[in-house]
Amino acid sequence: MTRKTLAVLGTAFGLTACLNTAEPFGADTDYGFLVLEARTAPEAGFVVNPLAIFYRTGPVLLPTSQTALDTCFVRAIEDDGSAPVYPPTVHAGEPLTMLLSGMQTTLTRQNVAGTWMYLPDPGTAGSVTFTPGDSVTITIPGAADGFASLTQKAKTAEPFTHSPVEVPLEGEPVQLRWTASTILGSKMLVSLRYSPASAPGTMRQIICDLTDDGVYDIGSIISDEWRTSDPLPGDITFSRWRITTDLGRNSAFLTISTFELPTPLVP
């Protein structure tokens, strides 16, 4: 499981503060997630490595892309190399089937480093070629004493472009400009990582949780430390998120789709 996937699921379990959250359930609720991160592959265009996972636990903080905080904040980057701790997984039947861009993919339950998750069949490429912005349909057969059967249709995050992020003059805002979404239900997350001149060897980032309208200015109070830091290539990312949620009587299933620039390469 990639670090970005861990961060996505960590968000869902309230381990990060990037996304707006809600708390709609009581104890012993089943939560399921399908994670689709757009990547690029040589001669294959855009691909995803689909991953689904199911948990049973008490109330958690569910992410949403329907609303945005429309603000930015600064936090330290601290990585001790350890993975977040998640609740025990539950069975959701087998196999799951996913239809995306005309291709059907079978996801089977596999144990990866002690965690049960659903991945493409062993022996297959694992990567699914697709067109970002297409709809995906996931069919979950369900299991006795496990996650209930469900079929969900969701839209994947659309591709976009953004203008270069320029270093402003003192007192001026940092201008973020990107292709606005024309379809409701997405949000834009922007990260600017830097090493402050006042604290060499440390890492911080400005995190922006934004309405997907294509325009935002980071005020100088927040961005001034970034403005005076040494430039670090590759440390500015824009990521469009689309999260589709189906709520059951005592369950929730989320498809989390992201399209990021620069777009990661398939592993």
pLDDT at 232: 60
Which H or E run contains 61? none
Spatial distance between the Cα atoms of 251 and 148, rounded to a whole number of angstroms: 8
> The pTM is what?
0.89
For the chain, residues with pLDDT lower than 50 are 1, 14-26
pLDDT at 20: 39
pLDDT at 240: 96
- Which ranges of the chain does DSSP label H, i.e. alpha helix? 3-12, 220-227
Structure tokens at 120: 């493409």
Tens of pLDDT, residues 183-198 = 999 999 999 999 888 8
Q: How many residues in the chain?
A: 267
Spatial distance between the Cα atoms of 81 and 106, rounded to a whole number of angstroms: 32
Backbone angles phi, psi at 157, to 5 degrees: -70, 135
Structure tokens at 79: 């990585």
Tens of pLDDT, residues 66-86 = 999 999 999 887 766 666 667
Instruction: Map residue 208 onto helix, strand or coil.
Output: strand
Spatial distance between the Cα atoms of 179 and 183, rounded to a whole number of angstroms: 12
How far are the Cα atoms of 72, 146, 230 from residue 258, in angstroms, in the given order?
19, 27, 29
pLDDT at 27: 59
